[in-house]
């Protein structure tokens, strides 16, 4: 048979992968350095930022009715500006072409901080067309959710709005679960589980709004407690200033209590011959036998067996079992049914 020459495995698939990637992603990496002066801010951005470009040169004026809020924002922008001076803008803003200029989708704080840092340009991802109103709103909300400098209350509000917009515009019947939220806001599974738990724990919302609970993890621990009593204990501890570690310990203790085997509480009646003796079970924990011996030997009834107890060796499972048998034998002598 005539020999047939072929390409080694891998080459074709590599070429194919590249060709496919390009076909499906034309224009998705359109990043450029753009003059900030050519970027208009979106007046409908749902973020409640009061400060504007006009406030930047001298800071907000005292006569401004929003002075206090603007001053807070101005200070925060100045901090970001310092970082931008040192490292530049690390994440590109997103804009689309609007008449002869660009309009911002998200990145208002980065723009304002860049102006404060004395920058004239900013890296931007440019979309060719104006996204639909819903897409813009969703992108802005999602971007806001991903920001690190928002309070827990603001982030939760943003997530609530993202879900609301999604239900209103795309699918009103969607079940809001962890997977849905992960895909929508692009945060980790753990984060999404926590957000959902806190969103559903309405009794915590007022504390979060007042800033009494600021940590998502703490709020989620409380929200995930099984009973109202457990929630109350955790909430009280949190409001008293317990650290996350302390709250976790408390929650862990609660779970341990929850997980005590039900057989102790409820002994189901088994069919067949009734038990005539007690099976004391087994364990891999050698310290349990030591503890039992210690407890029993401290009882005045057992003082005369003190020496026997002291001779029991607890260095391996075999000797632990022997010690336990001896303990039971001694106790059977003392305890009368």
Partner 1 sequence: MKSKPVLGFANQKGGVGKTTWSKIFSEYLAIVQGKDTLGIDIDSQTSFTARFFGINKNPITDYKEPPLHPYFDPNNADGWDGKSSIADIFFGKIPKPYPTKIERLDLIPSDEGNLFKAENVKRQEMADKVYGQLYNFINLQDVQKSYDIFVIDTPPAKGPLTISAFKAMTHLVIPLEIELQAIEGLTGLLQLWKQEAMSRPTDFPLHLVGILPNKVHSRRATDKDLLQELRSDPGYGNYIMPVQMVDRTEIPLCDLEQKTIFQYPDSNPAKQEAMEVCNYIYGRIFQ
Residues that bind partner 1 (CB under 8 A): 2-8, 11-12, 14-16, 18-22, 25-31, 126, 128
Residue 314 and residue 285 in contact, taking contact as beta carbons nearer than 8 Å: no
Q: Largest Cα–Cα distance of the chain, in whole Å? A: 99
Nearer to partner 1 (CB atom), residue 14 or residue 48: 14
Q: How far is the CB of 92 from partner 1 (least distance, A)?
A: 12
- b/e per residue, 271-298, with b = 16+ CB within 10 A? eeeeeeeeeeeeeeeeeebeeebeebbe
Q: How far is the CB of 239 from partner 1 (least distance, A)?
A: 51
Tell me how many degrees the CA angle 160-165-171 measures, rounded to the nearest 5.
Answer: 110
Nearer to partner 1 (CB atom), residue 11 or residue 66: 11
Nearer to partner 1 (CB atom), residue 25 or residue 282: 25
Residue 103 and residue 112 in contact, taking contact as beta carbons nearer than 8 Å: no
Q: How far is the CB of 185 from partner 1 (least distance, A)?
A: 25
Of 207, 190, 201, 259, the C-alpha closest to 225 is 201
Q: How far is the CB of 255 from partner 1 (least distance, A)?
A: 49
Nearer to partner 1 (CB atom), residue 11 or residue 295: 11
Residue 78 and residue 149 in contact, taking contact as beta carbons nearer than 8 Å: no
Q: How far is the CB of 170 from partner 1 (least distance, A)?
A: 24
Nearer to partner 1 (CB atom), residue 18 or residue 200: 18
Tell me if residue 123 falls in helix, strand or coil: strand
């Amino acid at each position: 048979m005539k020999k047939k020459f072929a390409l080694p495995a891998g080459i074709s698939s590599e070429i194919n992968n590249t060709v496919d990637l390009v076909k499906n992603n034309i224009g998705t990496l359109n990043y450029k350095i753009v003059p900030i002066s050519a970027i208009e801010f979106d007046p409908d951005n749902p973020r409640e930022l009061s400060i504007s470009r006009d406030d930047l040169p001298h800071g907000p004026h005292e006569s401004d009715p929003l002075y206090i809020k603007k001053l807070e924002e101005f200070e925060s922008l100045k901090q970001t500006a310092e970082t931008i001076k040192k490292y530049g803008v690390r994440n590109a803003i997103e804009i689309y072409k609007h008449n002869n200029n660009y309009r911002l989708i998200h990145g208002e704080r980065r723009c304002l901080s860049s102006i404060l840092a004395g920058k004239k340009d900013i890296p931007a991802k440019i979309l060719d067309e104006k996204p639909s109103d819903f897409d813009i709103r969703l992108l802005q909300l999602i971007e806001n959710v991903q920001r690190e400098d928002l309070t827990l209350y603001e982030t939760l509000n943003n997530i609530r709005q993202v879900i609301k917009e999604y239900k209103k515009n795309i699918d009103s019947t969607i079940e809001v679960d962890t997977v849905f939220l992960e895909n929508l806001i692009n945060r980790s599974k753990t984060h999404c589980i926590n957000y959902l738990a806190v969103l559903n724990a309405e009794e915590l919302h007022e504390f979060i709004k007042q800033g009494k609970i600021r940590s998502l993890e703490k709020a989620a621990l409380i929200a995930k407690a099984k009973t109202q009593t457990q929630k109350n204990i955790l909430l009280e501890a949190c409001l008293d200033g317990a650290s996350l570690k302390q709250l976790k310990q408390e929650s862990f203790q609660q779970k341990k209590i929850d997980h005590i085997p039900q057989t102790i509480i409820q002994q189901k009646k088994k069919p067949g011959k009734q038990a005539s003796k007690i099976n004391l079970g087994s364990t891999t924990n050698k310290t349990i036998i030591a503890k039992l011996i210690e407890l029993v030997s401290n009882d005045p009834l057992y003082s005369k067996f003190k020496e026997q107890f002291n001779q029991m060796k607890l260095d391996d499972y075999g000797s632990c079992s022997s010690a336990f048998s001896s303990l039971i034998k001694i106790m059977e002598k003392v305890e009368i049914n």
